[in-house]
Amino acid sequence: MKKQVAVIGLGRLGTALATTLHSLGHDVLALDVDEKSVQNIASQITHAVQADATNEATLRELGIGNFDIAIVTMPELGASALTTALLKRLGVGYVIARANDELHGNILQEVGADKVVYPEREMGTMIAYALTMLALGDVIDYTPVTTGYGVVKLIAPPSFVGQTLSDLGFGAKGKWKVAVLLILRQQEVTISPSSTEVIKLGDTLVVSGSRDSLEELTSKFPKTKTK
């Protein structure tokens, strides 16, 4: 569903968020006090404005209270806290705010942030998990979902070819205790494949489960050697 989203702060994080949200079909308003940052993104999103988001009158003039979501990406504690408080006061439905540490996050929650995110910490955790998993089997990608659980994308090893998912031990009650969410086969995508689905050469599996279960699965099938 199309949303109206305001992104406050156009550093690397804010710029990436604004352009990605626009590419997904949302109406995006981006604000920053830096003119160059605004100019750089203006042609890539719905609307970009050079403005001070800590000024209540400016936010009112922009109609910020009509937005479904606002994302505050400014790293400075004072500016982000004041902006978050103003956005909630003006009626923004859901405010997501970036924090640098626990103290920053606690303050943002106190002033009304609906969700606080820690990009640097979360990215570091994600990369650490991904690097560990990528060293096992023919894993293309790994994404942690919550503590101890994730989703892995892997190339089906040759030993899988010609066998059904049930034969291979997939499913909550199967040998691996992981679930196959998708099978990618050339341009075809099979969502929630049945237990009778037969694996073909070149298939890519998107599998979810506990990190321990995923590591056990992928460690059993060594990486395909490249010439």
Task: For residues 101 and 138, state if they share a domain.
Answer: no
For tokens 């499913």, what's the residue?
A: 171
Percent of the chain with pLDDT over 90: 67
Give the pLDDT confidence score for residue 47 in this predicted structure.
Answer: 95
**pLDDT number for residue 227:** 43
> In this structure, is residue 224 part of a structural domain?
no
In a domain, 79, yes or no: yes
Q: Which of 117, 152, 170 is the last residue of a domain?
A: 117
Residue range 76-90: average pLDDT? 96
The verdict on residue 17 lying in a domain is yes
User: pLDDT at position 119, please?
Assistant: 86
Residue 123 pLDDT exceeds 90: no
Q: Of 100, 117, 134, which residue sits at a domain end?
A: 117
In which band, very low, low, confident or very high, does the pLDDT at 114 lie, cut at 50, 70 and 90? very high
**What is the C-alpha separation between 216 and 109, in angstroms, rounded?**
39
d(CA 108, CA 114): 9
Determine the structural domain holding residue 191 and report its residue range: 122-219
Shared domain check, 20 and 55: yes
Residue 126 has pLDDT above 70, yes or no: no
Q: Kindly tell me if the per-residue pLDDT of 224 is higher than 60.
A: no
Summarize the confidence of residues 207-212 as an average pLDDT. 89
Segment among 56-60, 77-81, 118-122, 149-153 with least mean pLDDT: 118-122
- pLDDT number for residue 146: 77
Same domain, 105 and 172: no
Furthest-apart CA atoms within the chain: distance in Å: 66
Asked if 113 and 137 sit in the same domain, the reply is no
Residues 71-90, buried b or exposed e (16+ Cβ, 10 A)? bbbbeeeebbbbbbbbbbeb
pLDDT (0 to 100) of residue 78: 94
Q: Are residues 82 and 126 in the same domain?
A: no
Domain termination site, one of 65, 97, 117: 117
Angle (CA) 73-102-3 rounded to 5° is 35
The CATH number given to whatever domain includes residue 15 is: 3.40.50.720
